[in-house]
Amino acid sequence: DTEVTQTPKHLVMGMTNKKSLKCEQHMGHRAMYWYKQKAKKPPELMFVYSYEKLSINESVPSRFSPECPNSSLLNLHLHALQPEDSALYLCASSQEGQEPFYGYTFGSGTRLTVV
Amino acid sequence: GEDVEQSLFLSVREGDSSVINCTYTDSSSTYLYWYKQEPGAGLQLLTYIFSNMDMKQDQRLTVLLNKKDKHLSLRIADTQTGDSAIYFCAVGSSNTGKLIFGQGTTLQVKP
């Protein structure tokens, strides 16, 4: 299995809702990432987990809450989002501490619309 | 911090070669990647090159690295309509552990 699987593919939520995005990989990768991507823009790093511990938080608002229950799973919990949070949310994974470094494997993303 | 620049748009005719360019600022960048993103999809790793290499060829793709000028290019031979997508250059440093993306080049292939 060489894929990163993200669910759901599309999500529409109101500003008072609570929802979660899920990401799964079975490649044995020990680093997992959340990125946010606006249309025709590059992905922006949000969070990095390394060996199931949060290692980087790029000053993301607290209405986004990441969770890494085990080495294969990564969640992003959403609460009280704003319309400007509408975007494609991408999950990625990579080998940790590997030299040479072969890059990240990305999922297909969750298209989030906040209404 | 690291800055990665790409031109925003390239238009070619089917069958021609496409060359997408990228410049970066951090000379300690160790790993350099090209990702492809089709509409509505995630990012697909196309190819990569390490800083101790000058060139890498993989079927229709050729990556050239000029470390002195901090310039990376991706050449796609015999460009097809299925190559139409956004191409992102990404640069990684073993110092920071982060991957920095360029703005993306939209490749339009005309029949």
B43 and A CB contact within 8 Å: yes
State the smallest CA–CA distance between residue B56 and chain A in angstroms.
Answer: 14
Burial of B89 per CB tally in 10 Å (0-12, 13-18, 19+): buried
Q: What is the mean pLDDT of residues A16-22?
A: 96
Q: What is the mean pLDDT of residues A43-61?
A: 93
Find, in chain A, the residue whose alpha carbon is nearest to that of B91: A103
Q: What is the mean pLDDT of chain B?
A: 92
Burial readout A57-67 (b: 16 or more C-beta within 10 A, e: otherwise): eeebeeebebe
Name the pLDDT band for B36 (thresholds 50, 70, 90). Answer: very high
The most confident of A75-79, A94-98, B89-93, by mean pLDDT: A75-79
B33 and A CB contact within 8 Å: yes
Interchain contact, B104 vs A108, CB within 8 Å: no
Residue A99 has pLDDT above 80, yes or no: no
Residue A101 has pLDDT above 90, yes or no: no
Percent of chain A residues topping a pLDDT of 90: 86
Residue A67 has pLDDT above 90, yes or no: yes
Interchain contact, A42 vs B41, CB within 8 Å: no
Residue A113 has pLDDT above 70, yes or no: yes
Residue A11 has pLDDT above 70, yes or no: yes
Q: Who's near B44: CB < 8 A, 6+ residues apart?
A: A106, B35, B36, B37, B38
Residue recorded with tokens 């069958």: B15
Tell me the C-alpha distance between B99 and B92, whole Å.
4
Residue A60 has pLDDT above 80, yes or no: yes
Residue B95's pLDDT is what? 65
Residue A97's pLDDT is what? 65
